[in-house]
Amino acid sequence: MKKKQRSELILKVLEEIYPQVPIPLKHKNNYELLIAVLLSAQCTDERVNKVTPELFSRASTPYKMQDISLEDIYNIIRPCGLAPKKSKAILGLSNILVEKFKGNVPESFDELEKLPGVGHKTASVVMSQGFGHPAFPVDTHIHRLAQRWGLTNGKNVTQTEKDLKKIFPRELWNRLHLQIIFYGREFCKARSCFGLICEICTACYPKRKMPIKTQKS
């Protein structure tokens, strides 16, 4: 099966399983989304969603976040891991948003990626889920599945993003990246399937017999 055929099959299966694609991280505005995505680094969305209600009840805007001490932010977000680094980033980017952007989250990849603790993936999520701009944030699930499905060589997440953007129509990126994440969490997990069991892997490669070893990043 050629790559084009595989991509069409993948789209069909994902659309059948996930006709609705809710945004996993709970938020009420783009600032809350930005903070939630920052907290999700090396942490599950489920845990982030348990932590953010307390944080956002005290600070749902960068102005309010400035009124909270670094220690308080640290104590609230500690269950998410990397709390020393993340708490400093949250306070630092909040100060910048107030000073430079009048409290607004910038609608720009360049400006987002200049903020403390915000890398390309975080910026992509905010631009996609917050502002609705076409983007293809690649997390560990997408990176793993793209390799198992023969859509990328898995050299790194940057290459995976480029490859997926070439394969799939731009207008599908925002929806598709969430569908792949949901599928990876449910059917094609890191410690199972290995390219041999789930519906998409077996359909794409029916004769595959050896497990696929994927590059992590």
User: Which residues are tagged catalytic?
Assistant: 121, 139
Q: Identify the residue whose tokens are 């949901």.
A: 182
Show the tokens assigned to 49: 């969603």
CA–chain centroid gap for 35, Å, is 13
Q: Identify the residue whose tokens are 């989304």.
A: 33
Query: Measuring CA to CA, which residue among 180, 174, 166, 168 is closest to residue 136?
Result: 174
Please tell me the distance from the alpha carbon of residue 126 to that of residue 37, in angstroms, as a whole number: 8
Please tell me the distance from the alpha carbon of residue 138 to that of residue 121, in angstroms, as a whole number: 7
* Helical spans, DSSP H, in 69-139: 70-77, 83-101, 109-113, 120-125
Radius of gyration of the chain from its Cα atoms, rounded to whole angstroms: 18
Evaluate whether 150 touches 3 at the Cβ level (below 8 Å).
yes
Please tell me the distance from the alpha carbon of residue 80 to that of residue 52, in angstroms, as a whole number: 10
133: three-class secondary structure by DSSP: coil
Q: Where are any strands of DSSP class E within the chain?
A: none
